[in-house]
Amino acid sequence: MGHEDEFGFIRDQLRRQRALRGMSQEEFGKRANYSASTVSAVETGTRPMDMPYAKRADEILETGGLFVRLLKAAQREMQPTWFKRWLDAERAATQLRNYHPTLIPGLLQTENYARAVLRFDATRREEEVEKLVASRLQRQEILTRDQPPLAIFVLDESALRRRDAIMAEQFRHLLRMAELPYVQLHVIPADAGLYVGLSGQLALARSADGNWVGTLENQLADFVVGDEDGIATLLGRWEGVRGVALPQNLSLALLKEVESQHAPQ
């Protein structure tokens, strides 16, 4: 079944369950706090269903979590094969390590920031962008679930210095996430000079049995790494970026300093 077929199946089931309960689109929308036009757009596929919509549909139609499960499965099938392996490792991890030299890491991105990043690929249709945004936001539930992993993030100061209308919201989100006891946020200052991590993004996930899975990306491709030598290389690069990053208290101070400079004068 293709991606569009899967989402079409979800829309068919949504219409069917609503009809079985004798609800019009307008009545369903009133109960779900959506306009009738939004309900129609979701059911016809002109607007993608996101997780909040799926949860409200399950509550109102009393479907026992059906639409949440269907949407999660469809979003997972959208991902390339290599990334599914990483998603499995990410979900099962007791510890996550994530570094990006130029952007806010995906697990810390706001909806608007993620949307802007995913639009970098000009070949993506808007509907595909919205589905990928929804999938990325759903991945972030890892950090707010019961028994979350220890999540350590390292980002470069340059990612904070990019002036954009969406950055104020992104700063507030970073500060909220940094308050979580199992989230550690470290910033590499601009005066760190050249360091090993500038060659590209990397992430590592450690499972309960102590095994590591890694991922890295470049302009042409993304890779999942699981072999012993590859993991050793990624762990070494991680130590390189972590070693030049500021400790947590100084990282938060720098984050707040940069945030104040972004504030309207």
Q: What is the pLDDT of residue 220?
A: 47
Residue 176 token pair: 């909220």
Task: Report whether pLDDT(254) > 90.
Answer: yes
CA 106 to CA 159: how far, in whole Å?
A: 12
Its pTM surpasses 0.75: no
Check: CB of residue 28 under 8 Å from CB of residue 60.
yes
User: How many Å apart are CA 143 and CA 56, to the nearest integer?
Assistant: 22
Q: Do 139 and 90 meet the contact criterion of CB atoms below 8 Å apart?
A: yes
- Using one digit for the tens of pLDDT, what is the confidence trace for 154-203? 999 999 998 888 998 999 999 999 999 999 999 999 999 899 888 889 99
Residue pair 89/149 in contact (Cβ under 8 Å)? The answer is no
Report long-range pairs for 232-241 (Cβ below 8 Å, ≥24 apart).
234/202, 234/204, 235/204, 237/196, 237/197, 237/202, 238/97, 238/99, 238/202, 238/204, 240/195, 240/196, 240/197, 241/99, 241/154, 241/188, 241/195, 241/196, 241/197
Name the token pair of 114: 């993620």
180 alpha carbon, distance to own chain's centre: 17
Handedness of CA 224, 229, 233, 239 (dihedral sign): positive
72-90 pLDDT, tens digit each: 777 666 655 556 778 888 9
pLDDT tens digits, 221-233: 567 888 899 999 9
CA pair distance 225, 50, nearest whole angstrom: 30
3-state secondary structure of 115: helix
Dihedral of CA 141/143/146/150: which sign? positive
